[in-house]
């Protein structure tokens, strides 16, 4: 012994072992238990007489608490056999009152070079692990909510928004996620029109973590569902419905074939959460778990309900936008010419393309107005703003232009009158317009602009230029004297009038777009004007973000009135 340091007596060692708050057990090299302290017996609920002299697998009730075969193998082969300690190995087993998790530590005990056995300790870490799991889940929920703000609703598109919701929850919250919207609602019909006792859904998004998994209903399919099924119940009650286990999945009211396909997929828990925005129920999202062993709980339902509420607002915005967009397109098309009249001495072709779905419909328009004496007015304009209001102003301008032109008003006076019409709609209204008055008999063309891009002129030899105009103020910007520019148009030349949607690109100077148009006109087809229209649109505005109005007019030789017609 070390001088000055008293040796601990056997009684003191026993006291240290027995009074330790850490559950401790000692076994010999044959794995027979020699000592088990009070903390160990209290933690495991095993009596001392059922432990002493027995191996773990022989201790009465021990196999119900831990995997005794695993413990014996590791103690024998690793701890006692090789001297390799076990440090905080997790053991998950059932205990009275629920599932528990232990941190197991074991090390070999020797004396005088002889192996005596092994000491094991058990620490119940169930609560600590649950706290860590709860914190991780809370962080995951917070992360999902933050990502929802940037990942859902990036576009005004119903299907895209539904796909963004499905992509957000799979695989973080679900192994499969679907989004079904009420079919009648998508068609602006009464949801009750599906029939008594049933609802009709249109599947707009589905995502599965297992790429090869079979899906009962694919995107685009129509689903007719009795009101007794869980998704329909969630929708009719306006509250989530939860199936926590396989037995509840079987009782979900789904068809036997559908239930069996879910069970074959391994689904053991699912929830159906309604999509509600502004008091309107749009549809339902269903989340399922298969590979993830944890069943859904109320915290999961609250999280998904929050995500669904956010997605529903964006879906409803997209639905309302689509409805207004289609109404504006219908209105604008009804206000544009259905058939361009034939004019002697002039071939005419036109194209009108509404804005892509990434933007709203605008107020672009064009017109061809035959006048007395064989003359013709060619007009292209663009009302600022978007939506039905812009289309309505456009219709008023077109009607006013045609009426004044047929009364014989010169182009400058017509433009001045149009400016007053726009000004009457308030300071926020504005428009541009270019008006050409062409006389096929003389070849003379008078052009007036109100802040509009100048027309392009392709000469018979293919050379293209832009007609220099006095720009004039925007329509509605105030009183102005609009001056006409007069040009002679040779036979075989092409006058191209257009709105800025044809040439404008984000971050690019308009001059670049005008140069691109000049090249496209010079290099374009020389035969059919319709072919030239298509060529210009495909090369200049393949993904048009704004409305495009394009009017092409080619001058032709006037027939000789003195020459007798063939008969």
Residues 518 and 382 in one domain: yes
Residues 467 and 423 in one domain: yes
**CATH number, domain with residue 210:** 3.30.450.40
Residues 377 and 299 in one domain: no
Q: Which residue has the higher pLDDT, 261 or 553?
A: 553
**CATH number, domain with residue 497:** 3.60.40.10
Write down which residue in 79, 105, 124 finishes a domain: 124
The answer to whether residue 561 sits within a structural domain is no
**CATH number, domain with residue 52:** 3.30.450.20
The answer to whether residue 460 sits within a structural domain is yes
Give the CA distances from residue 97 to residues 45, 67, 93, in Å, rounded to whole numbers and listed in that order.
Answer: 12, 18, 11
Q: What is the 3-state secondary structure (H, E, C) of 531-562?
A: HHHHHHHHHHCCCCCCCEEEEEEEECCCCCCC
The answer to whether residue 198 sits within a structural domain is yes
The answer to whether residue 74 sits within a structural domain is yes
Pairing of strands 23-28, 114-124: antiparallel
Residues 51 and 136 in one domain: no
The answer to whether residue 397 sits within a structural domain is yes
Residues 256 and 314 in one domain: yes
Report pTM.
Answer: 0.56
The answer to whether residue 496 sits within a structural domain is yes
End-to-end CA distance of the chain: 141
Q: d(Cα 33, Cα 120) in Å, to the nearest integer? A: 11
Check residue 2 and give its pLDDT. Answer: 47
Write the pLDDT tens digit of every residue in 392-413. 888 889 899 999 999 999 999 9
The answer to whether residue 560 sits within a structural domain is no
Residues 120 and 134 in one domain: no
Write down which residue in 78, 101, 124 finishes a domain: 124
Which range of residues forms the domain containing residue 270? 130-326
Maximum C-alpha span of the chain? 144
Write the pLDDT tens digit of every residue in 161-175. 999 999 999 988 899
Write the pLDDT tens digit of every residue in 6-48. 566 677 777 888 888 999 999 999 999 999 999 998 888 888 8
Nearest C-alpha neighbor of 447 from the set 412, 399, 397: 412
Number of domains in the chain: 3
Q: d(Cα 325, Cα 357) in Å, to the nearest integer? A: 8
Residues 106 and 136 in one domain: no
Residues 341 and 397 in one domain: yes
User: pLDDT band at 348, cuts 50/70/90?
Assistant: very high
User: pLDDT band at 155, cuts 50/70/90?
Assistant: confident
Residues 307 and 357 in one domain: no
User: pLDDT band at 255, cuts 50/70/90?
Assistant: confident
For residue 546, pLDDT beyond 50: yes
Give the CA distances from residue 69 to residues 60, 62, 124, 163, 488, in Å, rounded to whole numbers and listed in that order.
Answer: 14, 11, 20, 49, 103
Residues 437 and 295 in one domain: no
Q: DSSP labels for 285-324?
A: EEEEESSS-SPP-HHHHHHHHHHHHHHHHHHHHHHHHHHH
Write down which residue in 101, 124, 147 finishes a domain: 124
* Environment class of 127 (CB within 10 Å of its CB; exposed 0-12, middle 13-18, buried 19+): exposed
Q: Whats the size of the chain, residue-wise?
A: 567
What mean pLDDT, rounded, does the chain reach? 85
Write the pLDDT tens digit of every residue in 553-565. 999 987 655 555 4
Residues 343 and 405 in one domain: yes
Residues 88 and 143 in one domain: no
The answer to whether residue 201 sits within a structural domain is yes
């Amino acid at each position: 012994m070390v001088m000055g340091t008293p040796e601990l007596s056997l009684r003191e060692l026993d006291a240290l072992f027995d009074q330790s708050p850490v559950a401790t057990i000692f076994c010999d090299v044959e794995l027979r238990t020699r000592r088990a302290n009070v903390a160990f017996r209290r933690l495991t609920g095993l009596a001392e007489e059922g432990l002493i002299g027995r191996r773990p697998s022989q201790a009465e009730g021990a196999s119900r608490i831990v995997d005794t075969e695993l413990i014996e193998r590791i103690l024998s082969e690793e701890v006692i056999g090789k001297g390799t300690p076990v440090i905080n190995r997790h053991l998950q087993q059932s205990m009275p009152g629920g599932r528990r998790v232990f941190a197991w530590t074991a090390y070999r005990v020797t004396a005088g070079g002889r192996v005596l056995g092994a000491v094991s300790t058990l620490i119940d870490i169930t609560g600590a692990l649950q706290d860590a799991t709860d914190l991780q889940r809370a962080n995951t929920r917070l992360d999902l909510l933050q990502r929802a703000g940037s990942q859902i609703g990036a576009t005004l598109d119903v299907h895209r928004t539904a796909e963004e919701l499905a992509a957000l929850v799979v695989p973080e919250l679900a192994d499969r996620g679907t989004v079904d919207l009420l079919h009648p609602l998508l068609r602006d019909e009464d949801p009750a029109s599906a029939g008594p006792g049933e609802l009709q859904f249109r599947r707009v998004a589905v995502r599965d973590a297992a790429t090869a998994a079979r899906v009962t209903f694919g995107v685009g399919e129509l689903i007719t569902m009795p009101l007794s099924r869980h998704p329909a119940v969630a929708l009719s009650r306006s509250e989530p419905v939860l199936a926590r286990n396989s037995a509840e999945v079987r009782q979900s009211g789904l068809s036997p074939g559908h239930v069996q396909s879910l069970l074959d997929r391994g689904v053991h828990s699912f929830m159906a959460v309604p999509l509600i925005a502004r008091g309107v129920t749009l549809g339902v999202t269903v989340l399922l778990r298969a590979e993830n062993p944890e069943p859904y709980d109320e915290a999961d339902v609250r999280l998904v309900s929050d995500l669904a509420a956010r997605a529903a607002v964006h879906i409803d915005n997209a639905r309302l936008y689509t409805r207004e967009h289609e109404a504006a397109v219908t209105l604008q098309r009804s206000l544009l010419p259905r058939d361009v009249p034939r004019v002697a001495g002039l071939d005419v072709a036109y194209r009108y393309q509404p804005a892509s779905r990434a933007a709203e419909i605008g107020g672009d328009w064009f017109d061809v107005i035959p006048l007395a004496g064989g003359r013709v007015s060619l007009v292209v304009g663009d009302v600022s703003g978007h939506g039905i209001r812009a289309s309505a102003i456009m219709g008023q301008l077109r009607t006013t232009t045609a009426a004044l032109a047929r009364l014989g008003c010169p182009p400058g006076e017509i433009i001045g009158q149009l400016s007053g019409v726009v000004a009457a709609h308030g300071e926020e209204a504005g428009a541009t317009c270019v008006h050409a008055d062409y006389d096929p008999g003389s070849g003379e063309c008078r052009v007036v602009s109100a802040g509009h891009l100048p027309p392009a002129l392709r000469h018979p030899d293919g050379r293209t230029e832009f007609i220099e105009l006095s720009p004039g103020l925007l329509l509605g910007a105030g009183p102005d004297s609009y001056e006409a520019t007069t040009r002679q148009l040779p036979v075989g030349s092409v006058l191209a009038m257009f709105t800025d949607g044809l040439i404008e690109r984000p971050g690019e100077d308009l001059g670049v777009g005008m140069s691109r148009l000049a090249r496209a006109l010079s290099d374009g087809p020389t035969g059919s004007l319709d072919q030239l229209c298509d060529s210009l649109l495909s090369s200049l505005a393949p993904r048009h973000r704004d409305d495009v109005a394009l009017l092409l007019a080619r001058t032709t030789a006037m027939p000789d009135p003195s020459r007798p017609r063939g008969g």
